[in-house]
Amino acid sequence: MARMKFLCDADRCIECQACVTACKNEHEVPWGINRRRVVTINDGLPGERSVSMACMHCTDAPCAAVCPVACFYTTDDGVVLHNKDTCIGCGYCSYACPFGAPQYPQTANFGTRGKMDKCTYCSGGPEPDMSQAEYVKYGSNRLAEGKLPLCAEMCSTKALLAGDGDIIADIYRERVVTRGYGSGAWGWRTAYGETVTV
């Protein structure tokens, strides 16, 4: 069984934000919710690298550990999803997430954040696959269609890789060997407890 992961090859990422708008486009994500974002470290300096970041679909996801209503679940593909019907918008997952993935449709005063929203690895939610109900709550379900997340599919420089963790780690490893440098599989150690070594 595939274990789906993301890997952003920062030596390819140019902060073009295609992943961000592809996500908005695919799921009609409203203004103010950023399921994916690009962070540039050392901006303007020779060490500069940009990394595209979204939910990493962690092993032993901390969001799931803290969720008071247990709305998170992990699919057989290793994708961490959540149930918006159960979610109470308490915000704990956003405190617990090391990657800033959980998003809320409202400003959070009086606890009225609304239902949490995050990257679904383009695989919807608990509703029937590819149904309108699922789309309205979570966006489209590309995984069920046999496709991968659109952010990675549309990445301008093929920096953002999505797919089975072993396969994308191999692709990354091969790149590092070919070119002789690699700034690391950003977030892997934190999300999966292991990184890609070359």
Q: Which of residues 44-103 bind another protein (CB under 8 A)?
A: 44-51, 53, 62-63, 65-71, 73-77, 79, 81, 83-92, 94-100
118 near another protein, judged by CB under 8 A: no
- 190 token code pair: 């934190």
Q: Which of 3, 14, 59, 173 binds another protein (CB under 8 A)?
A: 14
**Which residues in 122-181 contact another protein (CB under 8 A)?**
123-124, 126, 129-130, 132, 135-137, 140-141, 143-146, 150, 153-158, 175, 178-181
Going by C-beta distance under 8 Å and a sequence separation of 6 or more, which residues neighbour residue 46?
none
Q: How far apart are CA 7 and CA 168, in angstroms?
A: 7
Helix (H, G, I), strand (E, B) or coil at 92: helix
Q: Which of 3, 59, 171, 195 binds another protein (CB under 8 A)?
A: 195
Helix (H, G, I), strand (E, B) or coil at 6: strand
Kindly tell me the burial class for residue 183, based on how many C-beta atoms sit within 10 Å of its own C-beta (0-12, 13-18, 19 or more).
Answer: middle
- 31 token code pair: 């203004």
CB of 84 to another protein, least distance (A): 7
Q: Which of 5, 6, 7, 20 binds another protein (CB under 8 A)?
A: 20
Q: Which of 5, 7, 22, 168 binds another protein (CB under 8 A)?
A: 22
- How many residues contact another protein, by CB under 8 A? 121
CB of 22 to another protein, least distance (A): 4
CB of 122 to another protein, least distance (A): 10
CB of 6 to another protein, least distance (A): 13
CB of 189 to another protein, least distance (A): 7
Region for residue 70 given its phi and psi (left: phi exceeds 0; alpha: psi -120 to 50; beta: otherwise)? left
Q: Which long-range contacts (CB under 8 A, 24 or more apart) does 105-110 make?
A: 105/30, 105/32, 105/33
